[in-house]
Structure 1
Amino acid sequence: MSGIVLLGTGLLVLAGGFDLYRRWSLTPPDGWPLTAPHGVLLTYADRTRWADEGWWWPAAIAVLAIVTLLALWWLLAQLRRTHPGTLAVGGDHAVDGVELREGALSDALAADARNLPGVHQARARMDGTSSHPEAHFDITLTSDTAPGPVLQALSDGPLERARRSTGRTLPAKAHLRVTSHKAHRAE
Structure 2
Amino acid sequence: MSRGTVNRVLIGLVGAVLVVAGVLVLAGGLDLYGRLGVHPPGWWPLTSPYQPVVSARSRTRWVAGSWWWPTVIGGLSVLVVATVWWLVAQLRRTGLSSIAVPTPGVAGLRTRVSARALESALESGAVVLPEVERADVRLVRAPGHPRLRGAVRLTPGGDPAALVEHFETGPRADALGSLRVPELPADLRIRVLQEAPAGARRRRRRRRRRHPRVE
TM bucket by the smaller chain?
A: 0.7 to 0.9
Query: C-alpha separation between the residues in 2 aligned to 1:40 and 1:180?
Result: 57
What SS does the corresponding residue of 2:150 show, helix, strand or coil?
Answer: strand
- 1:44 Cα shift? 1.5
2:113 to 83, 99, 121: 99
Q: Which runs of 5+ in 2 are unaligned?
A: 1-11, 198-215
Query: C-alpha separation between the residues in 2 aligned to 1:6 and 1:151?
Result: 47
Q: Percent identity?
A: 32
With the length of structure 2 as denominator, give the TM-score of the two structures: 0.67
Answer yes or no: is 1:159 the counterpart of 2:172.
yes
Q: Which runs of 5+ in 1 are unaligned?
A: none
- 1:145 Cα shift? 5.3
What's the counterpart of residue 24 of structure 2? Answer: 12
1:176 to 165, 182, 190: 190
For residues 119-134 of structure 1, the aligned pairs below 5 Å read 119-129=131-141, 132-134=145-147
What's the counterpart of residue 109 of structure 1? Answer: 122
- 1:159 Cα shift? 0.5
Distance 1:111 1:14, change over 3 A: same
Answer yes or no: is 1:43 the counterpart of 2:63.
no
Answer yes or no: is 1:65 the counterpart of 2:77.
yes
Deviations 1:133-187 (A, max 9, x none): 222223344556543343222111101111233333221122234454479xxxx
Query: C-alpha separation between the residues in 2 aligned to 1:174 and 1:75?
Result: 28
With the length of structure 1 as denominator, give the TM-score of the two structures: 0.75
Distance 1:144 1:48, change over 3 A: closer
Range with bigger deviation, 83-92 or 171-180: 83-92
Query: C-alpha separation between the residues in 1 aligned to 2:97 and 2:184?
Result: 14
What SS does the corresponding residue of 2:99 show, helix, strand or coil?
Answer: strand
Length, aligned pairs only: 177
Query: C-alpha separation between the residues in 2 aligned to 1:50 and 1:182?
Result: 59
The answer to whether the 8 A contact 2:126-2:132 is kept is: no
| Structure with higher helix content | 2
Higher relative contact order (CA 8 A, sep 6+): 1
1:30 to 40, 50, 64: 40
Distance 1:87 1:149, change over 3 A: same
